[in-house]
Structures are given as structure tokens and as C-alpha cells.
Copies of this chain bind each other. A is one copy, B any other.
Amino acid sequence: MSNQNNITLGNLEPTGTVSPKGERCDAAANRKLILATAEKLFAQHGVENVNMAQIAQAAQVGKGTIYRRFANKAELCLALMDSQMADFQNVMLERMRKMTAEGVTPLGQLDQFLDALVYFIEDHAPLLDEVQREGLLGNYDLQVPHFWLHMTTSGLLRQAIEARELLPQLDVAYIADALLASLRANVFLFQRQVRGFSLERISAGLRALVAGLRFVEAE
């Protein structure tokens, strides 16, 4: 397992914050203005309390202008998270490379990945809640972050199996889904706001689920 240091993490497809090829300068300026305006209004009033007409009015653009660039509020929220998601990905990639070089096992890496993910979700929960509102069967673009997280999680699970850390017969695709399901924004917010769970508690609980899947050599 000495050659396991290149995890295939797909890059996120950039959405709204990056200029599409051939975008006119006025459209580009409006796109930036819309994002900046939305970010400001969300910070002032909370994501769920701001509607698209209010963003259009505050930005002094027409509603059609907003919808030409962003199919819906979820896509606008996803665009606002773009660079942070990419940063998170890059930081995680770098961290895993380091850990691999230092001999940290795949299961240890998964542990740290999930822990970091809990903190990432804490920082972006309101936006994520909006992004995930439609569920997993909605518009493909909105599922890109989930696909990446699933791919990363399942990649690490597979490596842990190959390293004989986890049970060989483990259903990786299912387990990755289940782990990520418990980190859906609406579940997470419920745990934080209603149950009063701390981040440490959430992280520990999640990692305990993984730890339980450890491979104990038969005999």
C-alpha cells in the first residue's frame, strides 16, 4: 500500500462566480453585483428571510437578470460557497498528501476528513440548507458538492479496506451515503439548534460509526 498517495479527487466545477466563456462585461459586472448584494442581505437578515425580488431590488437589476444567471436561490447560494468549497477541497487534498507521507492510515485520514467536514458544514449551514432543500433528486448542478464528498468518502473507505483496516465485504457506496446523510444541513441544523449537540459530539458520533466498521482479524 505504499503507492496509495494519489486519491482521485475530482475538482469542483466552478459555477456562478467564474466568468463563462464569452460573457459580456455588463453581464459579468451584474453577476458580481448580484452575488455581493445577496451575500450582504443574507448576512443581515439570514438566508431564509431574503427573497429573490429583494436581492434584485437591492442590486438595482431586474428579476430576469438574476434568473438568467442563477436558476434559483439554491444555485445562488452554491455560487456564494464556490471558493470556500474549492478551498476546503484543496486543503483536504494537501492534508491527505501530508498524512500519507507521514504514514497515517486511510482510516485515520477518513477520521480527520469527517471531523473537518463537520466544521465546514457548521460554517456554511444556512447556505447549504438552501442548496440541499430540493433533496438529492433535484437539478444536477446542485449535487456536485455532494458527489465530491461522496467520492472522497468512498475513496477513503476503499483504501481503508485495501489496507485491511475495514471489513472487506463493506458496502462502500451505501456507507458513504449513510455517513453523508447524517451531515445533511437540515439534520445538522436540527442537532445544533434543537438538540443542542456540540460540534465535538457530532464529530465523535460520526467517527464512532466508522470506527465500528473496523476489521478485526478473525481467529
Chain A interface (Cβ < 8 Å from any Cβ of B): 129, 133, 135-137, 167, 170-171, 173-175, 177-178, 181-182, 184, 186-187, 189-191, 193-195, 197, 201-202, 204-206, 208-209, 211-214, 216
Contact = CB atoms under 8 A, between A and B. Distances in A.
Given A136-B190, A189-B137, A212-B214, A178 B195 contact: no
Contacts of A178: 178, 181-182, 205-206, 209
A209 B137 contact: no
Number of chain copies forming the complex: 2
Contact of A208 (B171, B204, B208): B171
Contacts of A205: 171, 174-175, 177-178
Interface of A is mostly: helix
Given A174-B201, A197-B174, A136 B181 contact: no
Contacts of A202: 174
A182 B170 CA distance: 16
Given A171-B208, A181-B187, A194 B136 contact: yes
Given A135-B189, A136-B187, A178-B182, 18 more contacts: A136-B186, A136-B190, A137-B186, A171-B204, A171-B205, A174-B202, A175-B205, A175-B208, A177-B195, A177-B205, A178-B205, A182-B182, A184-B184, A184-B187, A208-B213, A209-B212, A211-B212, A212-B212
Nearest to A173: B195
A129 B212 CA distance: 30
22 contacts: A133-B135, A135-B187, A135-B190, A136-B187, A136-B189, A137-B190, A137-B193, A171-B205, A171-B208, A174-B201, A175-B205, A175-B208, A175-B209, A177-B205, A178-B178, A178-B181, A178-B205, A178-B206, A178-B209, A182-B182, A209-B212, A216-B216
